[in-house]
Amino acid sequence: ERKLLIVVTPTYNRAFQRYYLIRLGQTLRLVSPPLLWIVVDMNATSVETAEILMRSGVMYRHLAACKKNSTDSRDRGVHQRNAALEHIERHRLDGIVYFADDSNIYSLELFQHLRDIRRFGVWPVAMLAQSKNNAVIEGPVCNGSQVIGWRIHEKSRRHSRFHVDMSGFAFNSTMLWDHERWHRSNSDAIRQLDTVEEDFQESAFVEQIVEDESQMEGLPNGCSRIMNWHLHEEARNFAYPEGWQLSRNLDAI
């Protein structure tokens, strides 16, 4: 029996939203089931998102979560991911949890490897930032499946314990509630993604579920393949002739 993949995607209404969600939905549609796509809208569920999910052909749940502090620009999907974690825990959804932001690109190969994860899987991610005109790799250096070091590039992140991208790790959902099975010395509830500084979100979360590199599984063998790409692209300005109407996520003119 194949393991359930639980893909968590925070999203919000903006010019690229529809393009991103359709692209991700079409990828997920090609992944062998069972797969559950938990899509979390910002503030309230939107009809735009609902329509895309309905047509995706993917099994999904559509949730919404408010930012704790609506003016906090550092909260890029954090509370939405937490809402999904709460949902997974409350319903005891047993599977591999993966945070897949809407704007990234994912290969099918990645989803195949997710099912090999026992406890916590990690892999390198290529980050492409058009504005900065550069491409960098962030994530583990491995010997077989053993993590022996990290590729570090951003100055701001040098002090974090684990150098993982949000889209560069996945874990067994039972770690959220079954402490005995995972021999977690600290049986406190996992604090989920906290509102610590943005650059440390991922590391702070990972530090709660694994003690050190010995509890990580580097994917695929040798961690030598790039299986997903983290893009930073948004249309900040909208240019169209005066008087013309465009919907916010470009689904109609």
Nearer to ligand UDP, 154 or 178 (CB): 154
Identify the residue among 31, 46, 101, 223 touching ligand UDP (CB under 6 A): 101
- Residue span binding ligand UDP (CB under 6 A) among the ranges 72-80, 112-120, 185-193, 235-243: 72-80
Nearer to ligand UDP, 55 or 74 (CB): 74
Residue 124 found at the interface with ligand UDP (CB under 6 A): no
Nearer to ligand UDP, 56 or 103 (CB): 103
Contact at 8 Å (CB) between 216 and 121?
yes
The answer, yes or no, to whether the previous bond of 124 is cis (omega within 30 of 0) is no
- Residue span binding ligand UDP (CB under 6 A) among the ranges 100-108, 130-138, 201-209, 242-250: 100-108
Alpha-carbon span 208 to 205, nearest angstrom: 5
Contact at 8 Å (CB) between 123 and 218?
yes
Of 232, 238, 219, 247, the residue nearest 101 (C-alpha): 232
Looking at 48, 197, 198, 202, which residue is catalytic?
202
Residues 220-249 touching ligand UDP, rule: CB under 6 A, are 232
> Mapping DSSP to helix (H, G, I), strand (E, B) and coil, where does residue 48 land?
helix
β-bridge mates for residue 122, sequence order: 169, 218
Nearest distance, CB of residue 68 and ligand UDP, angstroms: 13
202 is catalytic: yes
If you ran DSSP here, which 8-state letter would residue 226 be given? -
- Tell me, residue by residue from 29 to 48, as one string, x for binding to ligand UDP by CB under 6 A and - for no binding: -------------x------
Residue 11 found at the interface with ligand UDP (CB under 6 A): yes
For residue 7, what are the contacts with CB-CB under 8 A and spacing of at least 6?
Answer: 28, 35, 36, 37, 38, 98, 100
Question: Which residues form the catalytic set?
Answer: 202
